[in-house]
Amino acid sequence: MILIPLRQLVLVCYSLDLVQSMKIVKKEDTPQLPALKKSDVVETVLIDPEQHFTQPPARYSEASLIKTLEELGIGRPSTYAPIIDTIVSRNYVETNNKQFIPTELGFVVVDF
């Protein structure tokens, strides 16, 4: 949320798209911070620790890899099977529970 003071009003923007998401509120409705000096001591009122774990993207299966290739416009339907066959036969990936798991060789080839 971005607060932009405008004389007697404060413009509250919830995104950078100012046309779609803007609201005008009275200045009294928004809390104001007190003026602080360099030597002022500030007390902590509340610390609310939250921990958020993110999940990595799912591994590709044969179907999801083909879908991604189609969306990116890579290859044609007649080339999808040879592409998958090539990455498996060259040991770039291993198949585990119908998912492609990259091998060390696969990481080295991608980084090269």
Confidence at residue 99, expressed as pLDDT on a 0 to 100 scale: 95
Q: 12 or 49, which is more confident?
A: 49
Question: Taking 80 as the threshold, does the pLDDT of residue 22 lie above it?
Answer: no
Residues 6+ apart with CB under 8 A from 80: 66, 69
pLDDT of residue 4: 45
Which residues sit opposite 93 in a β-bridge? 102
Please tell me the pTM assigned to this model.
Answer: 0.52
Distance CA 47, CA 49 (A): 6
Cα separation of 75 and 106, whole Å? 20
